[in-house]
Amino acid sequence: MTGPAKRIRTPLGETGTAGLRSGDLILLSGTVYTARDAAHQRMAERIRRDEPLPFGLAGQVLFYAGPVPAAPGRVIGPIGPTSSYRMDPFTLPLLERGLKGMIGKGNRSPQIVEAMKRCGAVYFAATGGAAALYAGTVKRSVLIAFEDLGPEAVYRLEVEDMPLVVVNDCHGGDLYREGVERYRVQSL
Amino acid sequence: MNIRELPTQTVTDTVARLCVEANFFLGEDVLAKLRDCLEREESPLGKSVLEQVLGNAAAAREKQVAMCQDTGYAVVFLEIGQDVHFTGGGLMESVQEGVRRGYQSGPLRKSVVRDPLRRVNTGDNTPAIVHCEIVPGDRVRLIVAPKGGGSENMSEVKMLPPSAGREGVMDFVADRVRRSGPNPCPPVIVGVGLGGTFEKCAFLAKKSLLRTLGEPHPDPYYAEMESELLERVNALGIGPMGYGGRCTALAVHVEAHPCHIASLPVAVNIQCHAARHKEAVL
Ligand code: SF4
């Protein structure tokens, strides 16, 4: 694991995700969509009612994040990952509709890890609490849905060389498990 | 008896300023611990995370922006000297107004919903949680500690039987950190409240997070327990951001309180590396 960072660009095709392995360092460029708890709930409702989503999911990447409001003259305020497990109950139908990547932090449920393998999707982690740095990788930001949700609205972001790590690849690799196994001290 | 008058406007202005400063400027004690960790960390990924976190703190300070997008639920501690008389409006409302202004002017993120089940954002990050204590004197000590949701969610209270003893407490604390894994943005600070009642131990755990990192407990018994716990937690191998590594926690702080003959309450409040608190004395 680790080595020089791989540069990848969204949207991610299936071939794009197959080459990624847990522990890979990534510099991601292209479009990503922010969506956290409340936006996921809204998307789930739309899917249940057979209504269109605010953006097409095929090959796309979601960033579990709610930014700080932008100061005047800035593209965006500080932005970084939120805990991903809270999105697990809403994620299966999104993967089934072609979602290929998710950026967050922390554990995913076994069901979602399985579904990612089946759907050829990848889970990336961003460094939590490094939001001033991540804001610098966002070149454009457009609010595209659920404005009333405030920090939980959906933004389309154009990012450049966003530093990420592959946690769950689509072959069953899991950096959280592998990393802890390597460094755990058994005797204590 | 001399009563000192203090306009609540001063409280509002100070709270507003501290909300912003806490979010922009990570404390020197936290930075020093992060640098220590960077030196000790063996995992290459762990090292790169710690470099990012330190670089981020520097960037936030320089650009005067929040270090983390989760600018927290505002938790405010007031230690009010009993010889102070507040003038010009309600004290509690003046604290809320300070939070409102601080989060607006930052700008900081508004992360509070009005109701836990109906979940509509209040739009100004109020209400803050306010803890008041009356102390001797004519000064007011004011601490603003914005608390992120990711690490707060990994916290827990447990009512152990007294027979569980020191070992039972240590097992519970270590296991709470193990089960939290990567979720609370390690390296973390582990706040442990011990004794008191159900609510008191949670409060103690929170309060222990305000202690300067690197300062051991004044009682050698608990100082030793803290360092033993830190060693156990770091042996878990979770590491920075949970990618595996030596540095899972920067510190473990324990605060203890007398308790009922039947009880051994223990609370673990997990604090992420964005350990924010700023204070002022008025
Ligand atoms: S746990 Fe702390 S560092 Fe991580 S996202 Fe939340 S507030 Fe930020």
Res A186: pLDDT: 79
Nearest C-alpha neighbor of A179 from the set B98, B112, B182: B182
E strand or H helix at B204, and its extent? helix B198-208
Pocket test for ligand 1, best of A37, A68, A79, A83 (most atoms within 8 A of CB): A83
Nearest C-alpha neighbor of A10 from the set A135, A165, A172, A157: A157
Of residues A187 and A165, more confidently modeled? A165
Note which residues in 93-152 of chain A have CB less than 8 A from chain B: 105-107, 125, 127-133, 135-136, 149-152
Angstrom CA distances, B277 to A184, B90, B127, B210, stand at 31, 24, 18, 7
Kindly state if the Cβ of B274 falls inside 6 Å of ligand 1: yes
Tell me the per-residue pLDDT of B151-197, one tens digit each, with 9 for 90 and over.
999 999 999 999 999 999 999 999 999 999 999 999 999 999 999 99
Nearest CA to ligand 1 atom 8: A129
Tell me the per-residue pLDDT of A65-87, one tens digit each, with 9 for 90 and over.
999 999 999 999 999 999 999 99
B224-242: average pLDDT = 97
B109-122: average pLDDT = 95
Nearest C-alpha neighbor of B272 from the set A73, A129, A90: A129
If you measure from the C-alpha of residue B267 to the centroid of ligand 1, how many angstroms do you get, rounded to a whole number? 20
The values of phi and psi at residue B262, to 5°, are: -95, -10
Contact between A180 and B238 using a beta-carbon 8 Å cutoff: yes
Angstrom CA distances, B111 to A89, A153, B85, stand at 21, 13, 32
Nearest to B182 among A69, A136, A176 (CB): A176
The C-alpha atoms of residue B118 and residue B122 are separated, in whole angstroms, by: 12
Nearest to B110 among A105, A150, A181 (CB): A150
B95-119: average pLDDT = 96
Beta bridge partners of B272: none
Contact between B59 and A132 using a beta-carbon 8 Å cutoff: yes
Average model confidence (pLDDT) across chain B: 97
Res A2: pLDDT: 57
Boundaries of every domain in chain B? 4-23+67-147, 150-274
Res A109: pLDDT: 97
Looking from the CA of residue A80, the nearest atom of ligand 1 is 5
The C-alpha atoms of residue A94 and residue A3 are separated, in whole angstroms, by: 31
Structure tokens at B47: 């090292």
Domains contained in chain A, number: 1
Q: Which residues contact B270 (CB under 8 A, 6 or more apart)?
A: B151, B152, B154, B155, B176, B177, B180, B184, B188, B189, B190, B191
Res A187: pLDDT: 62
Tell me the per-residue pLDDT of B86-106, one tens digit each, with 9 for 90 and over.
999 999 999 999 999 999 999
Give the minimum alpha-carbon distance from A168 to chain B in angstroms, rounded to a whole number.
Answer: 12
Nearest to B109 among A66, A178, A188 (CB): A66
Looking from the CA of residue B69, the nearest atom of ligand 1 is 8
Give the minimum alpha-carbon distance from B239 to chain A in angstroms, rounded to a whole number.
Answer: 7
Under the banding of pLDDT at 50, 70 and 90, the label for residue A106 is very high
Phi-psi region for residue B33, left (φ > 0), alpha (ψ -120 to 50) or beta?
A: alpha
If you measure from the C-alpha of residue B274 to the centroid of ligand 1, how many angstroms do you get, rounded to a whole number? 6
B220-224: average pLDDT = 98
First to last CA, chain B: 19
Contacts A106 to B, Cβ<8 Å: 150, 181-184, 242
Nearest C-alpha neighbor of B207 from the set B174, B256, B272: B256
Give me the DSSP letters along A167-185: EE-TTS-BHHHHHHHHH--
If you measure from the C-alpha of residue A129 to the centroid of ligand 1, how many angstroms do you get, rounded to a whole number? 5
Nearest C-alpha neighbor of B175 from the set B160, B162, B163, B161: B160
The parent domain of residue A107 ranges over 2-187
- ipTM metric: 0.93
Look up residue A61 and give its DSSP letter: E
- Asked if the model's pLDDT at residue A141 lies above 70, the reply is yes
Kindly state if the Cβ of B241 falls inside 6 Å of ligand 1: no
Kindly state if the Cβ of B53 falls inside 6 Å of ligand 1: no
* Active site (annotated) includes residue A171: no
- Asked if the model's pLDDT at residue A4 lies above 90, the reply is no
- Asked if the model's pLDDT at residue A1 lies above 50, the reply is no
B119-145: average pLDDT = 97
Tell me the per-residue pLDDT of B200-215, one tens digit each, with 9 for 90 and over.
999 999 999 999 998 9
Q: Is A158 helix (H, G, I), strand (E, B) or coil?
A: strand
